[in-house]
Structure 1
Amino acid sequence: MLQKFLHYGRNFYVATGLGLLAWMTFFDANDLPTQIRNWWKVHELDRDARFYQERIKTIQTERQEILGNDQLREKFAREKYLMKRPEEDVFVIVDEKNEPLEK
């Protein structure tokens, strides 16, 4: 009789454990598919953050170069924003890829 009880008791705990595992894996608010989705989203956001950090460094370097030189600042304003003096016209010569020839 005791062996029969222990056998049923063991099956009860195994079944309860499997049920809890299934519940936590598929039905809980923090289930496995949600955790995988969240991990993937964090991975994408980290990659985007690295890209933007590199882009910020590049832009800061360009900004330092342009602001440090009056001729480059004037060239940048003329080409990028098409600024000009009142008595002149500005022409930007571009290649086949629509990029300025002079960089």
Structure 2
Amino acid sequence: MSKFQSIKLPKFVKNKFFIAAAAFVIWICFLDKINLMYQYQFRSEELKLEAQKAFFIKEIQQTKEEQQELLSSPEKQEKFAREKYLMKKDEEDLFIIVPSTTAKP
């Protein structure tokens, strides 16, 4: 007698419906084009994109608020131009101080 004939399998394992269901589950989980690994990667990518979407919506809202603030008064426009674009009046001198990137002992 071979060793495969001596192995006792439960009755339900020999059932053709169980074998078909097991083959279907293996096919869906591992062999199909859209298997479990693909679904996991797709879901993680979706979550990453949702986080980016929330970030950009927040940034857009903040930019709109800054725009409304700048358009509300000329003083704020002048302050913005001086800080961001280093603009100056004709009679002023502008000094830009840049911190050094190397540390000296």
Q: State the secondary structure of the residue aligned to 1:30.
A: coil
Let me know the Cα RMSD of the aligned residues: 2.3
1:33 is matched with which residue? 37
CA distance in 2, matches of 1:72, 1:93: 23
Deviation per residue, 1:51-79 (Å, 9 max, x gap): 11011111110111012110111111111
Task: Please identify which structure carries the higher helix content.
Answer: 1
CA distance in 2, matches of 1:67, 1:74: 11
Q: Tell me which amino acid in the other structure corresponds to 2:80.
A: F
1:77 is matched with which residue? 81
Indicate whether 1:63 and 2:67 are aligned: yes
User: How high is the TM-score relative to the length of structure 2?
Assistant: 0.71
5+ long unaligned stretches in structure 2: 1-10, 99-105
Shift of 1:27: 1.2
- How many equivalent residue pairs? 87
5+ long unaligned stretches in structure 1: 1-6, 95-103
User: How high is the TM-score relative to the length of structure 1?
Assistant: 0.72
CA distance in 1, matches of 2:61, 2:68: 11
